[in-house]
Amino acid sequence: MSNPREIVGKRIARFFQDGDLVNLGIGMPTAVANYLPEGVNIILHSENGFVGLGPTPPEGREDKDVVNAGGQPVTILPGGACFDSAMSFAIIRGGHLAATVLGALQVDEEGNLANWMVPGKLVPGMGGAMDLVAGARKVIIAMEHTAKDGSPKILKRCDLPLTASKEVDYIVTELGLMEVTAAGIVLRELAPQVTVEEILAKTEARLIIPETIGSMEL
Amino acid sequence: MTKVVKKEDIMGKFSNGQTIMIGGFLAVGTPEDLVDILVEKNVRNLTVIANDTAFVGKGVGKLVVNKQLKKVIVSHIGTNPETGRQMNAGELDVELVPQGTLAERIRCAGAGLGGVLTPTGVGTIVEEGKEKFSLDGRTYLLERPLQADIALIKAARADTFGNLVFRRASRNFNPLMAMAAGLVIVQAEEIVEKGCLDPDEVMTPGIFVHMLIKG
């Protein structure tokens, strides 16, 4: 078990129950769909206007009107349905999504999330991220534990502009699974071969260490 | 009565300084032929309301590259580096709006509502300058309607009266924008005679549509 995408994807896939309606963000979150346990089928929501998002079509079978929210060709599975953007975001804001899985630049002790801009450097716009984080019943962050330069991403306080305030429920990284609670971030599970000391060293936020910590079953 | 018109009729409707809504999501569901007419007319100082600025050379991106815009109201500009360049150079005003809020603000204008209360953006820079309401233990922002002089819409099928059917993910903002502008111009891939669409199949009633071209 080596790459973070696989570790994180496998663990998050175990959050879901058969039939859950879920929105997966671009990048690491998308990989979650590859690791669903046997017998668990989730329905994927695509914010550009459909449910029943399916895999990439074979080359030559692309449909110009069927793309995901990143503009990549995809398919719509049997039972899928299409709608306009107001319906798409009513589904999101109205609490009809069991969960949204997103990447993060920073997350903090209060469950604040920053993932949409770096002032002066990267201003792509929030797209649907603010609605997803405010509206989904469960907000799960899928990311590498630290930034490329090794600096922590789980902080006492985010200093980048927020995507939403106090909405994050779980953070899953290649090192472990953390839950954001009213008291702070609780370390629930450690990935294989990871120690409490290692995860503490790579986290700026205060981590609450309970008496028993689970092992991340993968 | 038919609403099918010639390119010249559409060209005559564009002028400098207009606010124009353009359907589409990363150019899927964008009426490219109508955008091309707008580029050809070369009107300037436009405000465009759209989901995004698409790509250089595609969809709304063509208007950005041709420097016809003074302002865009969109949820995302990340796929078009030229938008970011003009924004940083102070040549283009960019108002970023969360995608669901953008949809509801457009819907409000078409539905005669004075605004919408949404939890999206609370505690972020999106809330700056907006009224906040605490209702039943949750905080909401008041977001105001967005309307336009003209809406450019893409449909898969239309009848000559302007009844529209959209296809797959190309529907996105099109039905909402078709209700929120003074003049609604549609590019449809297929145009059939009035009466050839089942009333139950119609997604945007023709009463909202003023002009149609095939493309």
Q: Is B26's Cβ below 8 Å from some Cβ in A? A: yes
Mean pLDDT computed over A99-125: 95
Q: Does the ipTM surpass 0.90? A: yes
On the CB side of B18, CA atoms within 13 Å amount to 20
Residue tagged active-site, from A6, A38, A47, A197: A47
Give the per-residue SS3 of B55-109: ECCECCHHHHHCCCEEEEEECECCCCHHHHHHHHCCCCEEEECCHHHHHHHHHHH
Query: Angle A85-93/B99-111 helices, nearest 10 degrees?
Result: 120
Which residues in chain B touch residue A134, judged by CB atoms under 8 angstroms apart? 118-122
CB–CB contact A130 B170 (8 Å): no
Q: Which of A69, A135, A161 sits opposite B125 (nearest CB)?
A: A161
Contact call for residues A86 and B104 (beta carbons, < 8 A): yes
> What's the confidence (pLDDT) of residue A217?
84
Instruction: Average the pLDDT over B5-24 and give the result.
Output: 98
Residues 31-90 in A contacting B (C-alpha not used; CB under 8 Å) = 46-50, 63-67, 69-71, 76, 82-86, 88-89
Give me the amino acid identity at A90: A
User: B172, A49: Cβ pair inside 8 Å?
Assistant: yes
Residue A31's identity, in one-letter code, is A
- With beta carbons under 8 A apart, name residues in chain A contacting B170: 64-65
CA A210 to chain centre: 24
**Closest Cα in chain A to B95:** A125
Give the closest-approach CA distance of A120 to chain B in angstroms.
8
B81 CB neighbours in chain A (<8 A) are none
Proportion of chain B above pLDDT 90, given as a percent: 100
CATH class, range B7-116+145-214: alpha beta
Burial A60-79 (b: 16+ CB within 10 A, else e): eeebebbbbbebeebbbeee
The tokens for A131 are 């609605």
- CATH superfamily of domain region A4-42+96-215: Glutaconate Coenzyme A-transferase (3.40.1080.10)
Tens-place pLDDT, residues A33-52: 999 999 999 999 999 999 99
User: What confidence category does residue B6 fall into, taking pLDDT thresholds of 50, 70 and 90?
Assistant: very high
Query: What is chain A's percent helix, strand, coil content, to nearest 5?
Result: 20, 30, 55
Q: Is the pLDDT of residue A2 over 80?
A: no
Which residue reads 């975001």 in tokens? A89
Enumerate the residues of chain A whose CB falls inside 8 A of the CB of residue B118. 93, 134
- The pLDDT confidence band at residue B1, using thresholds 50, 70 and 90, is confident
Residues 6+ apart with CB under 8 A from A21: A42, A43, A44, A45, A51, A91, A96, A97, A98
* Set of chain A residues whose Cβ sits within 8 Å of the Cβ of B29: 65
| Residue A1 pLDDT exceeds 70 | no
Contact B172 A163 (CB under 8 A): no
pLDDT in tens, B68-79: 999 999 999 999
Q: Do A83 and B171 touch (CB under 8 A)?
A: yes
Q: Tens digits of per-residue pLDDT, A113-160? A: 999 999 988 899 999 999 999 999 999 999 999 999 999 999 999 999
DSSP string, A56-117: PPPTT---TT-B-TTS-B-EEEEEEEE--HHHHHHHHHTT--SEEEE--SEEETT--EE-S-
- Confirm whether A47 is a catalytic residue: yes
Domain boundaries, given as residue ranges, for chain A: 4-42+96-215
Q: Report pLDDT digits (tens) over A155-204.
A: 999 999 999 999 999 999 999 999 999 999 999 999 999 999 999 999 99
- Domain map of chain B by residue range? 7-116+145-214
pTM: 0.97
Residue A126 in contact with partner chain B when CB distance is under 8 A: yes
d(CA A143, CA A32): 12
